[in-house]
């Protein structure tokens, strides 16, 4: 009897402990997680908890390293050599951002299913089929041939691993406890994966297959009308009329015969709103006579933030800026002599080749009249089981590689709709050494060294803006750009024809660039890189048409510029598209015929100053009207059962100005034949109604800020770990490009004085820990368009009063 009693209570106890030591569905392991001594409670920190270990012995160091933390938790690292500098960078970054670093590289490697289970399987397959890991492996080989980069990568990895190794469960980052897994060892391959993650985010989107579908549906002439390569009032990065003093490479143009195949479903694409602004003004235009530089990369806004700020000092260089957690060095920043920044240099660097296999075995494909052998890469995707008592499942996905690249589309992907095989040719697949560029930029002293630093840079192509204390400003559109004949790669290509392949690359020195232009400034905002005189084909479906013109209009007018003016321009909310469209939209309305509600809306829009402010209602009305108008205008596109895209805003406006009676205006669902005014009238009425309904439903004013409802989301997408319901000015196609989930991920302005003065802010905080006061402490300043001073410690200024803690790392004896 006593044995039975004991056995029952013992077994119940053990089962209770086992169950609470594991996840149940998405519920965290309650015992482990809620344990106040080792569970999540221990991740809650006060400021002082971040400044505890004054001395730290580390096995991987060669000499002593000093880290000063300023009031914003920005580490200022001083090391005696490169090895220790990048080692310490790895160590501190891991201390603040370990979970995020690992998650982003898991994303690129197609390994999210290991953490989140089956829901991530399709996403993982896409990354693997796009060949991100294949590209990262290629890049790692190239990087490791370079002794400097190899050392930096190894030291950085070692720093991260020495941090991971001494972590006990109580100090494990919050998310590992929540999701119940542990960090694995870091490796240089993960840094390479991070760079490919960025390449995918910024250069991983194209519309070639949609273009092919549209041509097949509407004919080439209509396609050209709806999707012009160059808009009439375009304002390129390198101004129109800039002479190109080089002998261009010859491009042979073959007979243009593209495969005419419908693609029903295309793969998911990275966000369209990824973009950026940067510019530099020469000393002639500033009050102080010093050049100034500004940069704000627009990305999806997440917590922990994509950027991590720090200062890196060693005998070679003294650099301040933001880094990408997972890669050594500083990506956007400045040193004693120069400042640099980047925007995305979009261009079609992804092309698709239709592949014809000899048999269902898919071991040979047709090329140039012969059969070539394929290679097979079997992707093993580990899938976390739904319940802890089940075993891990392994999903296999076979990806066929041709000499073009991986066959992303086949009968098994995406979905099971496509019966066609398309191989992907992409610049991100080739081995490249972008890290070399950044490490060299970190210590470049002048324009020549800046130019040299850019040479190895391939993908994702960026517009590098430059300014130096010596007074030079410059802009380089840098990347590895395929040499193409007109319209090559704009559509699905024929994988069996040699002449459909890229004929090499634009020589690096012939990439578009400009140094000290007469107008006294350089700028870029993801628009067309060049004017019509550039001798190479530079097609992209997504060139920006508004932010760039607004920035150039303002910069051209500005004089006696101060850093305040630079900040103001970064936060400029003027809606140029509204200014160019709203007057004629309003003109089309017959005011007398409007209802009272509509007349009020009309009046509001008529009085609007085109400022896209969160508190204003007019921008919400305008956006609603514009989108309803687009819906009616492009209704021909919405009901198709193949993948298409609609003409973008710039092209839409250009078409209506050129041809206000285009047959697309007619709504095919109604018997009447609509004209432009009918369409504007109907869409206006619909928009006013929609806004009214919104106000009834939400019981608040339909102000732009309320409708847009901006948020900065934790990478797990959990609202509880995010900052939501933010009132943020600006919007898509506006210099202050905040469209809700996307926007300025880092704003930096730099004056190239001696010593350099700089300000910056990003929507997040230095710590990735949701339990830290440094988790989201920059968001409020960022939201209001305010900046923090960047304490650039150097011989002239020590900022001792801003340093709250100094830590010494020394080699383990």
| Chain residues that interact with another protein, rule: CB under 8 A | 2-3, 5-6, 9-10, 12-13, 16-17, 20-21, 27, 30-32, 34-46, 169, 174, 178, 718-721, 770-773
Q: Which of 748, 277, 759, 236 is nearest to 517 (CA)?
A: 236
Provide the 10 A C-beta neighbour count for residue 639.
8
Element (H, E) at 217: helix 208-218
Pick between residue 5 and residue 370 the one whose CB is nearest to another protein: 5
* Least separation in angstroms between CB 172 and another protein: 12
CA geometry: angle 657, 662, 663, nearest 5 deg: 160
Asked if 461 contacts 173 with a C-beta cutoff of 8 angstroms, the reply is no
Pick between residue 529 and residue 765 the one whose CB is nearest to another protein: 765
Pick between residue 14 and residue 253 the one whose CB is nearest to another protein: 14
Query: Distance of alpha carbon 641 from its chain centroid, rounded?
Result: 30
- Would you call 524 helix, strand, or coil by DSSP? strand
Pick between residue 30 and residue 261 the one whose CB is nearest to another protein: 30
Number of H helices, E strands in the chain: 23, 29
* Least separation in angstroms between CB 738 and another protein: 24
For the residues of 351-363, what is the DSSP string, one character each?
A: EEEEE-BSSTT--
Pick between residue 17 and residue 268 the one whose CB is nearest to another protein: 17
Torsion sign (Cα): 602, 604, 605, 607: positive
Pick between residue 14 and residue 591 the one whose CB is nearest to another protein: 14
Pick between residue 400 and residue 726 the one whose CB is nearest to another protein: 726
Pick between residue 9 and residue 606 the one whose CB is nearest to another protein: 9
CA geometry: angle 210, 419, 207, nearest 5 deg: 15
* Least separation in angstroms between CB 123 and another protein: 22
* Least separation in angstroms between CB 38 and another protein: 6
Please tell me the distance from the alpha carbon of residue 330 to that of residue 312, in angstroms, as a whole number: 8
* Least separation in angstroms between CB 2 and another protein: 5
In terms of Cβ atoms closer than 10 Å to its own Cβ (0-12, 13-18, 19+), residue 694 is: middle
* Least separation in angstroms between CB 17 and another protein: 5
* Least separation in angstroms between CB 578 and another protein: 38
Residue 222 neighbours by CB under 8 Å, 6+ apart: none
- Structure tokens that stand for 553 in this block: 């209009």
Pick between residue 730 and residue 765 the one whose CB is nearest to another protein: 765
* Least separation in angstroms between CB 727 and another protein: 21
* Least separation in angstroms between CB 4 and another protein: 10
Pairing, β 332-335 against β 421-426: unpaired
Pick between residue 169 and residue 246 the one whose CB is nearest to another protein: 169
* Least separation in angstroms between CB 50 and another protein: 12
* Least separation in angstroms between CB 47 and another protein: 10
Q: Which of 531, 499, 542, 214 is nearest to 367 (CA)?
A: 499
Please tell me the distance from the alpha carbon of residue 296 to that of residue 636, in angstroms, as a whole number: 37
Within 558-673, where are the H helices? Answer: 563-570, 576-587, 596-606, 618-633, 635-638, 649-658
Pick between residue 43 and residue 212 the one whose CB is nearest to another protein: 43
* Least separation in angstroms between CB 27 and another protein: 8
Asked if 143 contacts 150 with a C-beta cutoff of 8 angstroms, the reply is yes
Please tell me the distance from the alpha carbon of residue 66 to that of residue 803, in angstroms, as a whole number: 12
Pick between residue 274 and residue 767 the one whose CB is nearest to another protein: 767
* Least separation in angstroms between CB 183 and another protein: 18
In terms of Cβ atoms closer than 10 Å to its own Cβ (0-12, 13-18, 19+), residue 270 is: middle
- Would you call 42 helix, strand, or coil by DSSP? helix
Pairing, β 55-58 against β 803-811: parallel
Pairing, β 275-281 against β 317-323: unpaired
Asked if 612 contacts 575 with a C-beta cutoff of 8 angstroms, the reply is yes
Torsion sign (Cα): 115, 118, 119, 123: positive
* Least separation in angstroms between CB 46 and another protein: 5
For the residues of 529-571, what is the DSSP string, one character each?
A: SS-TT-SS----TT---SHHHHHHHHHHH--SB-HHHHHHHHT
Pick between residue 16 and residue 246 the one whose CB is nearest to another protein: 16
Please tell me the distance from the alpha carbon of residue 2 to that of residue 18, in angstroms, as a whole number: 24
* Least separation in angstroms between CB 73 and another protein: 15
In terms of Cβ atoms closer than 10 Å to its own Cβ (0-12, 13-18, 19+), residue 343 is: buried
Pick between residue 167 and residue 803 the one whose CB is nearest to another protein: 167
Pick between residue 17 and residue 640 the one whose CB is nearest to another protein: 17
């Amino acid at each position: 009897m006593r044995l039975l009693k004991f056995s029952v209570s013992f077994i119940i106890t053990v089962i209770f402990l086992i169950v609470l030591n594991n996840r149940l569905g998405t519920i965290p392991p309650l015992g482990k997680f809620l344990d106040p001594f080792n569970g999540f409670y221990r991740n809650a920190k006060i400021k002082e908890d971040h400044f505890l270990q004054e001395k730290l012995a580390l096995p991987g160091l060669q000499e002593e390293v000093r880290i000063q933390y300023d009031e914003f938790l920005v580490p200022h690292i001083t090391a005696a050599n490169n090895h220790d500098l990048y080692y310490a960078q790895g160590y501190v970054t891991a201390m603040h951002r370990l979970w995020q670093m690992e998650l982003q590289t898991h994303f690129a490697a197609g390994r999210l299913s290991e953490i989140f289970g089956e829901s991530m399987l399709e996403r993982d397959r896409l990354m693997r089929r796009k060949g991100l890991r294949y590209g990262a492996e290629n890049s790692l080989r190239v990087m490791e041939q370079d002794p400097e980069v190899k050392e930096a990568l190894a030291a950085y990895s070692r720093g991260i691993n020495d941090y991971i190794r001494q972590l006990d469960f109580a100090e494990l980052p919050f998310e590992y406890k929540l999701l119940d897994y542990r960090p694995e060892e870091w490796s240089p391959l993960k840094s390479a994966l991070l760079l490919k993650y960025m390449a995918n985010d910024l250069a991983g989107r194209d519309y070639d297959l949609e273009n092919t579908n549209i041509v097949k549906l509407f004919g080439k002439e209509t396609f050209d009308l709806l999707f012009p390569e160059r808009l009439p009032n375009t304002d390129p990065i390198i101004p129109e009329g800039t002479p190109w003093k080089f002998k261009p490479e010859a491009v042979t143009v073959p007979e243009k015969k593209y495969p005419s195949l419908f693609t029903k479903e295309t793969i998911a694409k990275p966000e369209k709103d990824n973009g950026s602004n940067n510019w530099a003004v020469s000393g002639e235009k500033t009050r102080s006579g010093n050049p100034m530089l500004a940069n704000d990369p627009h990305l999806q806004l997440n917590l922990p933030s994509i950027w991590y700020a720090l200062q890196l000092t060693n005998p070679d260089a003294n650099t301040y800026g933001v880094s990408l957690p997972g890669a050594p060095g500083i990506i956007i920043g400045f040193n004693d002599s120069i400042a640099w920044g980047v925007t995305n240099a979009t261009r079609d660097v992804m092309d698709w080749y239709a592949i014809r296999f000899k048999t269902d075995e898919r071991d040979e494909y047709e090329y140039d009249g012969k059969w070539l052998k394929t290679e097979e890469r079997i992707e093993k995707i580990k899938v976390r089981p739904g319940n802890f008592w089940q075993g891990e499942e392994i999903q296999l996905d076979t990806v066929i590689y041709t000499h073009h690249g991986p066959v992303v589309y086949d009968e098994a992907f995406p979905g099971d709709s496509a019966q066609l095989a398309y191989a992907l040719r992409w610049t991100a697949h080739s081995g490249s050494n972008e890290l070399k560029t950044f490490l060299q930029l970190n210590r470049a002293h002048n324009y020549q060294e800046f130019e040299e630093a850019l040479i190895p840079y391939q993908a994702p192509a960026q517009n590098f803006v430059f300014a130096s204390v010596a007074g030079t400003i410059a802009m380089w559109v840098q990347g590895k750009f395929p040499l193409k004949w007109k319209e090559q790669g704009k559509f699905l290509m024929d994988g069996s024809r040699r002449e459909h392949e890229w004929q090499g690359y634009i020589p690096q020195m012939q990439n578009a660039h400009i140094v000290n232009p007469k107008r006294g400034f350089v700028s870029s905002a993801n628009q067309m890189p060049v004017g019509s005189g550039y001798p190479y084909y530079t097609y992209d479906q997504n060139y920006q048409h508004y932010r760039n013109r607004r920035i150039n209009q303002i910069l051209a007018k500005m004089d006696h510029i101060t850093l305040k003016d630079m900040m103001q321009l970064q936060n400029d909310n003027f809606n140029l598209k509204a200014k160019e469209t709203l007057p004629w939209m309003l003109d089309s309305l017959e005011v007398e015929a409007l209802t009272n509600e509509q007349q009020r809306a009309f009046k509001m829009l008529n009085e609007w100053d085109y400022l896209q402010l969160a508190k204003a209602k007019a921008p919400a009305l305008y956006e609603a009207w514009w989108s309803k108008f687009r819906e009616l205008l492009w209704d021909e596109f919405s009901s198709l059962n193949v993948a298409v895209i609609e003409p973008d805003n710039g092209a839409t406006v250009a078409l209506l100005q050129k041809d206000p009676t285009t047959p697309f205006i007619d709504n095919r669902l109604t018997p009447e034949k609509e004209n432009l005014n009918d369409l504007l009238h109907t869409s206006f009425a619909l928009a006013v109604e929609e806004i009214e309904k919104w106000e009834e439903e939400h019981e608040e004013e339909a102000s732009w800020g309320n409708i847009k409802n901006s948020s900065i989301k934790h990478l797990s997408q959990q609202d509880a770990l995010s900052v939501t319901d933010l009132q943020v000015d600006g919007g898509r196609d506006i210099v202050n490009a905040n469209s809700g989930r996307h926007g300025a991920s880092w704003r930096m302005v730099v004056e190239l004085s001696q010593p350099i003065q700089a300000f910056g802010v990003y929507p997040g905080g230095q710590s990735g820990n949701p339990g830290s006061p440094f988790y989201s402490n920059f968001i409020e300043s960022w939201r209001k368009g305010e900046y923090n001073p960047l304490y650039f410690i150097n011989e002239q200024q020590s900022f001792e009063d801003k340093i709250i803690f100094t830590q010494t790392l020394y080699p383990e004896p």
